[in-house]
Structure 1
Amino acid sequence: MKLLVVSTLVVGLLSPATAADPVHVEGTLPSGATYVMDVPAGWNRTVLLYSHGYTPDGAPNPARNAPDEEVRTGLLDRGYALIGSSYAETGWVLERALPDQVATLDAFVDRFGSPRETIAWGTSLGGMVTTGLVERYDRFDGALAMCGLQQGGVANWNNTLDPVFAIRTLLAPGSTAPLVDLPDQATALAAAAELTAALDAGQSTALGRARTALAAALHNIPAWTEAQLPEPAPGDHETAQRNQYLALRGTVYVGLSWRQEAETWAGGNMSWNTGVDYTRMLARSSIRAEVEALYARAGASLSADLATLAAAPRISADRHAVAYLVRNLSFTGRPGAPLLTIHTTGDALVPVQVQRAYADAVHEAGRERWLRQAFVHRGGHCTFTTGEMLAALRALRERVRDGRWPDTGPRALNEAAERLDPGGTHAYLAYRPAPYPRPFDLVDPPPRN
């Protein structure tokens, strides 16, 4: 194993707990993944294994051990060791990410010795990796999944299919743009361009805007989708729809370009909408009232469009590709250590209802005592303040240390966030997500490692 040491300290078997200077290590795993480790002077014997988010094929893929530099500095100043890998490949890389992260932990232990506490944490796809680690490996004392895909892989790609299917059916009638079985990126991007153009054209009419809201409702895209935008007032359905339209442009890209990458890993199409009742899905959607109001304003028939969706030719999945997604990665609801999740309420990329999907799975498995969930009132994906992340980590570490959960209510978390990040606008709130529209839970857990 090749190691690159970047430090003023001569690093050998010297214990970092007695080191006068911090230690920074970079290296490469046998899989080809790179890793980075930072151990502060006076290490508190807790190591945080960070899992980063989705990296599209062809994008830079450095190893990362924190969400950003401010959080990284704050944690090192508090004595935490920080480690993380790049994962060996990019795209829908769950097959490689979990073992690469565990190998990074092994490399850390080989070099610095066993920590007193090992905590997994991650953002976005990395939140999904984190949940997989704590469900499948007996190596962790606790885990923090932030803005993670807690619904699992099968449910994620199923529900990503729904808005794209509605856009093609209602806003681009007659289109033959493929939604699944995408052979290459050129095909995926051409289909995305066609459906995006239909979305754009739909903004010019009241009916087009109502249909856009219906597509957004099938994915539970919220009214407030970006932190830098003001939150729409209650009942301001036009502003909400405009935000959802802009978010759907990204959903189309992810639902086709990133899907093509995932299909390559899975060996085929892993999604279906055979047997799906879109009328029932709308009835459970968090933005159903908005859809109904916009259809009424347009003088159009919502029931007629739902009938059109019901009659449209459906899509079947390849069972081998579904099985791949079950393995890489769907959840059992059985975390093997305390798991805290945090999520913004205005997340358009990974809607907050994913947390309801995981909570329901945990409930079915009888593991509620292992899970706590907290929510931040803000638009955007992973738009947490530094204080909000540090407060969540502190609460999790208290659970690991004391054997019982501290107060993880919004007041306690906001007060902790303010102490850790004075002057920030911290926004934990009491919240219960609506049901996830397309749940899929793995019934039989894989063996733990």
Structure 2
Amino acid sequence: MTSRRAGVAWALVGWAFGAAADPQMPAEAAPQVVPCPAGVGNTTKCLAGQDSAGAYYLIALPSPWNGDLVLHAHGGPFLGAPTAKRVAEDLERWSVMPRLGYAWAASSYRQGGVAVTAAAQDTERLRQLFVAQVAKPKHVYLHGQSWGASVAAKGAELFDAGKPYDAVLLTSGVLGGGTRSYDFRLDLRVVYQSLCHNHPLASEPQYPLDIGLPAHSALKATELNQRIDACLGLDKPAAERTPAQSARVKTIVDVIRIPERSIVSHLHWATWHFQDITQKRTGGASPFGNIGAVYSGSADDAALNAGVLRYAADPQAVATLAADADLTGQISVPVLTVHAIHDPTAMVELQDSFGRTMAAAGHADTLVQTYTGDRDHSYLSDPTYAALLEALSAWTTQGKKPTADSIAAGCEKAQATLGSTCRFEPGYRVKPLDTRVPARQRAAAGG
């Protein structure tokens, strides 16, 4: 594209700068032009700022622009204060979207931590800012990745009456609801402690593992890693571990049903994310419990079940987390999902839970779920997302509801120009979450 034509395109986009904001949200300052991260294309213009609630945001406007906006809800969640770096990293990861002609916008969220509803509100604030300060898109596709899929689903539910989003794309989603998606991480904590006895150490103050960490714990991530390595030898090749270390790793993999490569990450999340939830969201009480859970797959299941610590979820904490992070399925616009069958972070069975939630709300017909044979979580492939967006657009604008087969074919078509891989498995049928995570007694929320 010539610089003259690009200038005309940006002039057309810029007409809306300073336009009236939606009265539901405070007026927002105009974004500033900033350098784009690598990979988004030489004709893409990037705009950034900090909104009235304190969230950083980044917008990418390709030229030529197809007129549609992908509103991105990032995963994590990350703890600590929000940063502009977070959204820049996501734009680099999802650069295929502006390269395909879509405008792209993402919020850092106003706060760190496990706060789903607030993040959904921040994402909607950014949509309104885009409309008021940049341009009115033809269509808005709300995209949530990983934990951000729960943010996007929550936002689609919260704002469904006003239809601000034309369709929803949920990728690698944590979609079982906050009160159920993390059960296995408590299971990991108690099984790990029964094997390793070092988180906490016997010499440290003891605390219930279902709170993650006490409020003022000084434990650092590097210290936890050292404890994990001492017990499991994950810092060594498998052949260099002691027989005891190898046996412990096998027990965790077989009982918790997570791959070895994700043990450290899940232990971290079961430590600091649980701490964030209990200390900042639920008043110090835990919404997680394992009463009635029967663990299997070890060399001696009877001894394991007799030895693990048991906790009852606090009913009010369950109610508080449910109000923020559980889903209702009240989404009346098209919803398309993709999930790697071997996802090491968000187990694929969470998709069964989401399907049941949508069906219970009477919206099974607005949901299409797809699966791939990938073993990754954070990113699958460029043609995978290109096919999903093309299918979602056709569903939205032409009423052509896609199928798993048609999306797989679309990926093969996109692969011809984008390269990389297509691993859709249209015949895959997901199993219920209870086939992978033991059922347990549930607290009556608020009881």
Tell me which interval the TM-score lies in, with the shorter structure as reference length: 0.7 to 0.9
Match of 2:351 among 342, 355, 361: 355
Q: Distance in 2 between matches of 1:245 and 1:397?
A: 38
What's the TM-score once normalised by structure 1's chain length? 0.76
The number of residue pairs the alignment matches comes to 387
What's the TM-score once normalised by structure 2's chain length? 0.76
- 2:31 is matched with which residue? none
- 2:396 is matched with which residue? 400
Partner of 1:374, secondary structure, is strand
Match of 2:384 among 381, 388, 391: 388
Match of 2:293 among 244, 267, 277: 277
Q: Distance in 2 between matches of 1:320 and 1:400?
A: 40
- 1:215 is matched with which residue? 252
Match of 1:418 among 415, 423, 435: 415
1:14 aligns with 2:15: yes
Matches within 5 A, 1:302-341: 302-305=300-303, 308-310=304-306, 312-341=308-337
Kept after mapping to 2: 8 A contact 1:70/1:386:
no
Q: In the superposition, relative to structure 1, how do residues 420 and 65 fare at CA in structure 2: closer, same or farther (>3 Å)?
A: farther
Matches within 5 A, 1:105-254: 105-138=127-160, 139-172=164-197, 178=207, 179-181=209-211, 182=213, 183-184=215-216, 186-187=218-219, 189=221, 193-194=226-227, 197-200=230-233, 204=241, 209-221=246-258, 244-254=259-269
- The Cα of 1:324 is off from its aligned counterpart by 2.5
- The Cα of 1:220 is off from its aligned counterpart by 3.1
- The Cα of 1:215 is off from its aligned counterpart by 2.8
1:257 aligns with 2:257: no
Q: Give unpaired runs (5+ residues) of structure 1.
A: 1-6, 222-243, 283-290, 296-300, 443-449
Q: In the superposition, relative to structure 1, how do residues 193 and 335 fare at CA in structure 2: closer, same or farther (>3 Å)?
A: farther
Q: Distance in 1 between matches of 2:64 and 2:346?
A: 38
Q: Distance in 1 between matches of 2:439 and 2:85?
A: 33
- Taking only aligned residues, the RMSD between alpha carbons, in angstroms, comes to 3.3
- The Cα of 1:256 is off from its aligned counterpart by 0.5
- 2:123 is matched with which residue? 101
Q: Distance in 2 between matches of 1:41 and 1:12?
A: 10
Cα distance per residue 1:398-430 (max 9 Å; x no partner) = 1111223123326424313413513x1221113
Partner of 1:328, secondary structure, is helix
- 1:369 is matched with which residue? 365
Partner of 1:82, secondary structure, is strand
Give 2:288's aligned amino acid. W
Q: Distance in 2 between matches of 1:68 and 1:438?
A: 37
Cα distance per residue 1:111-167 (max 9 Å; x no partner) = 244322111002112222111122221221111111111112111232211112111
Q: Distance in 2 between matches of 1:408 and 1:250?
A: 31
- 1:62 is matched with which residue? 85
Q: In the superposition, relative to structure 1, how do residues 71 and 254 fare at CA in structure 2: closer, same or farther (>3 Å)?
A: closer
Q: In the superposition, relative to structure 1, how do residues 363 and 45 fare at CA in structure 2: closer, same or farther (>3 Å)?
A: same
Q: In the superposition, relative to structure 1, how do residues 195 and 40 fare at CA in structure 2: closer, same or farther (>3 Å)?
A: closer
1:431 aligns with 2:432: no
Q: Distance in 1 between matches of 2:68 and 2:149?
A: 19
Q: Give unpaired runs (5+ residues) of structure 2.
A: 1-6, 18-42, 443-447
Match of 1:49 among 54, 71, 80: 71
Q: Distance in 2 between matches of 1:385 and 1:85?
A: 23
Give 1:122's aligned amino acid. G
